[in-house]
Structure 1
Amino acid sequence: MRYLFDASSIVNLVKKNFVEPFIEGATVELAFYESINALWKEYVLLGHIKEKVAVELVEALEDIFNVIKVLSTRSMGKEVFEIASNERITIYDASYLCAAIRNKLTLVSDDEKLRGMSSKYVNTTTSQQLDKKLEKVKLLFNGFCHKLYGIDYFHWYPVMFTSLSKH
């Protein structure tokens, strides 16, 4: 594991259909419902997405949460409360930060306030920065696979990822 994803980064990566980072990552229990809530808000309250798209994205989240490592924060209550109180952030945001600290992970968040404050404790990045970084690696690896085996690895990768989540 290298990354701890918050709900904002999970939703943004899923909307781009960019699932590879989740294999090297983790999140906390509440992220599933926070992610679904963000999609519900975009559909019901803001009207930014159609119902069909929202449902498809929720299904994609279900697949991802069958693969990504989900860390329990139940034993971190006191630490989460202290971080939230000292930094004046929500308990939800503090749970992401606490899990990242405890597990020595880079916090991936598209919430500028959380990312800025968290950088005092852990390395941070955005989903967009991670996307760019992994895209470079992906291109190099794909070129390597094509040269050696004559295959386009990342053309088949999303199919493989989906089939893994079904088991």
Structure 2
Amino acid sequence: MKLKKIGVLAGNYIQSLTIYEVLNALWKESNVLKKIGSREAEDLVNVFAQLLRYLNTIDVRGVEGKVFRTAMETGLTVYDASYLVLAQRGGLTLVTEDAKLRKMAGETVKAVSLVELTQTQK
């Protein structure tokens, strides 16, 4: 993601799981795939940490049963179902790069890719 596009995320919502996803992706890019150096990965972690100050964090507490039922009914993983349920609960747009999840979400909530989000918020 281009740094200039990060601003469109300010004020939006992520779930606590997203923090681990981003950190793990940066670790993998650096440590496993060797696409970026460790210093660059650390710099990106610092940028992400700064971005977190402008995001609202939500979690699945209180909707665990709904998350599980959604996973069972849709065939999504519990992990993916959690994103769908939280978007439904908050009346939020689901931003995901997972095409299958976007398609599944399209039946109940608005779902877009990050590219689509940045294009609509120019």
TM, length-normalised to structure 1: 0.68
Matched, 1:126 2:122: no
The residue aligned with 2:2 is 16
Stretches of structure 2 lacking an aligned partner (at least 5 in a row) = none
Aligned partners of 2:49, 2:108: CA distance in 1, in Å? 30
Aligned partners of 2:106, 2:12: CA distance in 1, in Å? 18
> How far off is 1:24 after superposition?
3.5
The residue aligned with 1:96 is 83
Secondary structure of the corresponding residue to residue 24 of structure 1: coil
Matched, 1:33 2:20: yes
Aligned partners of 2:40, 2:77: CA distance in 1, in Å? 29
Matches within 5 A, 1:75-90: 75-90=62-77
Stretches of structure 1 lacking an aligned partner (at least 5 in a row) = 1-14, 136-167
- Runs of 4+ off more than 3 Å: none
More helix, by proportion: 1
Aligned partners of 1:75, 1:21: CA distance in 2, in Å? 29
Which of 5, 14, 35 does residue 48 from structure 1 map onto? Answer: 35
AA of the residue aligned to 1:55: E
Give me the identity figure in percent: 32
TM, length-normalised to structure 2: 0.91
Secondary structure of the corresponding residue to residue 27 of structure 1: strand
**Higher RCO (CA 8 Å, separation ≥ 6 residues):** 1
Secondary structure of the corresponding residue to residue 30 of structure 1: helix
Of structures 1 and 2, the larger Rg is shown by: 1
> How far off is 1:59 after superposition?
1.1
Aligned partners of 1:24, 1:66: CA distance in 2, in Å? 9
